């Protein structure tokens, strides 16, 4: 028996982190590994944001902050939600957290009772299922089809809802697929949610700014369901601020207060300096993000060209985020030069790491065991070299 709680024993280590660990072991042996496994911008935080953090320190922002975040930051978030998303919220509806991750966890822990069903659109972001488990809920994984760019449809959702359904979770733009829900698709989903008054929606919009198709639609824009939508967003991706740990949610007052309550007992809210930096980030608008998005778009296009030369990858065109997510079942059953059979995307990812020295994450981590996720948030030359290596090593499979 273990001294650890059942809760922790039931939890998986983040697989994106596990793959990175294996890659680091090879690097320690002197192997030149190209890592495309991380979900992180390769850009520095813009200078004006760094400057605001230095200034905050000099001005003495070193004390506890209000648990849901500084009032002026929450006001700036309300202005952002109005400007970008046409959503009217007051500071009392906003809770600033230690990354979007904590905002997601706060919400799940605030809403889900043991036995409640949480419909998770798949492919999903790694932590959703583990958060549901932590809340002793039951995840109901609903897989989008490759033909529909991995997006779940309103009909599929309707069929999955039961009287026990409490929450629906998805990201758009999606990590890992890069898919973006259109206005029509989300409107149809909102209609389904409207018919089931016990169902809430957790809309993870952390990749909002990294969008190549233009329109970002928030689920909360549909008035008939707005009160039951929790919108999560943050600074990690759009402002290249992963290490600052700054995210937020917008929700009705009851849910926002519940999230504040959890946070008051577990973290007391996030770092004062990060919050001052976040305020400056928002005041700077989205110009810096738009510059980064141009680079992400160029890399996506370049990688899609390179992938065309790799037989057996079925790769929908991502509309946002910074990943490609090919289906690799074409390689299942093939043999490696040393006689091992590739039975899964995980076997293939391991072969690409050991033979091609490129690290990626197998889709099992995202509920899609036929796929592999490659991050395109890396320098152009690195990406080009990586996909040439991949092509060459895959050619060795027979």
Of 106 and 336, nearer to ligand PLP (C-beta) is 106
d(CA 375, CA 289): 18
Scan residues 115-134 and list those touching ligand PLP (CB under 6 A).
125
d(CA 112, CA 376): 35
Binding pattern for the stretch 12-51 against ligand PLP, x by CB under 6 A and - elsewhere? ---------------------------x------------
What is the three-class DSSP state of 278? helix
Of 240 and 328, nearer to ligand PLP (C-beta) is 240
Pick the stretch among 65-73, 81-89, 99-107, 383-391 that binds ligand PLP (CB under 6 A): 99-107
Half-sphere exposure for 8 (CA within 13 Å, toward CB): 4
Q: Does 318 bind ligand PLP (CB under 6 A)?
A: no
d(CA 11, CA 135): 12
Query: Of 41, 68, 144, 247, which lies in the binding site for ligand PLP, with binding defined by CB under 6 A?
Result: 247
With contacts defined by CB under 6 A, how many residues of the chain interact with ligand PLP? 13
Burial letters 325-350, b for 16+ CB under 10 A, else e: bbbbbbbeebebeeeeebebbbbbbb
What is the closest distance, in whole angstroms, from the C-beta atom of residue 98 to ligand PLP in the complex? 7
Prior bond of 173 cis (ω within 30°): yes
Cβ-contact 347, 106 below 8 angstroms: no
DSSP state of 140: E
Query: Of 206, 358, 360, 393, which lies in the binding site for ligand PLP, with binding defined by CB under 6 A?
Result: 206
Query: Of 15, 242, 283, 329, which lies in the binding site for ligand PLP, with binding defined by CB under 6 A?
Result: 242
d(CA 122, CA 361): 16
d(CA 110, CA 259): 6
Query: Of 129, 204, 327, 347, which lies in the binding site for ligand PLP, with binding defined by CB under 6 A?
Result: 204
**Shortest Cβ contact with ligand PLP: which residue?**
99
Burial letters 152-176, b for 16+ CB under 10 A, else e: bbbebbeebbeeebbbbbbbbbbbb
Of 249 and 342, nearer to ligand PLP (C-beta) is 249
Q: Does 370 bind ligand PLP (CB under 6 A)?
A: no
d(CA 150, CA 71): 39
Helix (H) or strand (E) holding 97: strand 94-97
Token digits for 337?
Answer: 């030069």
Pick the stretch among 95-103, 177-185, 265-273, 369-377 that binds ligand PLP (CB under 6 A): 95-103
Scan residues 274-313 and list those touching ligand PLP (CB under 6 A).
none
Q: Does 320 bind ligand PLP (CB under 6 A)?
A: no
Q: At a CB cut-off of 8 Å and minimum separation 6, what does 381 contact? A: none
Query: Of 85, 236, 346, 370, which lies in the binding site for ligand PLP, with binding defined by CB under 6 A?
Result: 236
Pick the stretch among 25-33, 98-106, 150-158, 297-305 that binds ligand PLP (CB under 6 A): 98-106
Cβ-contact 338, 94 below 8 angstroms: no
Pick the stretch among 29-37, 42-50, 97-105, 360-368 that binds ligand PLP (CB under 6 A): 97-105
Pick the stretch among 80-88, 115-123, 234-242, 325-333 that binds ligand PLP (CB under 6 A): 234-242
**Residue carrying the six token digits 């905002």:** 103
What is the closest distance, in whole angstroms, from the C-beta atom of residue 102 to ligand PLP in the complex? 7
Q: How many residues does the chain have?
A: 398
Of 322 and 387, nearer to ligand PLP (C-beta) is 322
Scan residues 155-194 and list those touching ligand PLP (CB under 6 A).
171, 175
What is the closest distance, in whole angstroms, from the C-beta atom of residue 276 to ligand PLP in the complex? 17
Q: Does 101 bind ligand PLP (CB under 6 A)?
A: yes
Q: Which residues pair with 371 in a beta bridge?
A: 327
- Per CB under 6 A, residues contacting ligand PLP are 39, 99-101, 125, 171, 175, 204, 206, 234, 236, 242, 247
């Amino acid at each position: 028996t273990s001294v650890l709680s059942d809760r922790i024993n039931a939890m998986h280590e983040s697989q994106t982190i596990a793959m990175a660990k294996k890659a680091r072991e090879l690097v320690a042996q002197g192997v030149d590994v190209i890592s495309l496994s991380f979900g992180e911008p390769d850009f520095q935080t813009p200078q004006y944001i760094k400057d605001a953090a230095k200034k905050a320190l000099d001005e003495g922002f070193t004390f506890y902050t209000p648990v849901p975040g500084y009032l002026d930051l929450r006001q700036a978030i309300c202005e952002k939600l109005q400007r970008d998303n046409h959503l009217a919220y007051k500071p009392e509806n906003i809770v600033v957290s230690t990354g979007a991750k904590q905002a997601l966890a706060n919400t799940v822990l605030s809403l889900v009772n043991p036995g409640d069903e949480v419909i998770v659109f798949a492919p999903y972001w790694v932590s959703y299922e583990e958060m549901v488990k932590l809340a002793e809920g039951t995840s109901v994984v609903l897989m989008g089809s490759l033909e529909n760019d991995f997006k779940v449809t309103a009909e599929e959702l309707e069929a999955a809802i039961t009287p026990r359904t409490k929450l629906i979770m998805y990201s758009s733009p999606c990590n890992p697929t890069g898919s973006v829900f259109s206005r029509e698709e989300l409107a149809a989903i909102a209609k389904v949610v409207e018919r089931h008054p016990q169902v809430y929606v957790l809309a993870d919009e952390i990749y909002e700014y990294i969008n190549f198709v233009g329109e970002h639609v928030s689920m909360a824009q549909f008035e008939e369901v707005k009160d039951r939508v929790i919108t999560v967003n943050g600074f990690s991706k759009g402002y290249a601020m992963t290490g600052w740990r700054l995210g937020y949610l917008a929700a009705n007052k009851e849910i926002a207060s519940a999230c504040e309550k959890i946070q008051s007992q577990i973290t007391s809210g996030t770092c004062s300096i990060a919050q001052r930096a976040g305020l400056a980030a928002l005041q700077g608008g989205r110009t810096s993000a738009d510059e980064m998005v141009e680079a992400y778009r160029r890399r996506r296009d370049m990688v899609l060209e390179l992938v065309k030369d790799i037989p057996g990858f079925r790769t929908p065109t991502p509309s946002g985020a910074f990943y490609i997510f090919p289906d690799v079942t074409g390689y299942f059953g093939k043999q490696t030069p040393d006689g091992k059979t590739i039975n899964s995307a995980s076997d293939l990812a391991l072969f690409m790491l050991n033979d091609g020295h490129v690290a990626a994450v197998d889709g099992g981590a995202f509920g899609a065991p036929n796929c592999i996720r490659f991050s395109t948030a890396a320098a152009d030359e690195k990406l080009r070299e990586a996909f040439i290596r991949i092509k060459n090593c895959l050619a060795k499979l027979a």
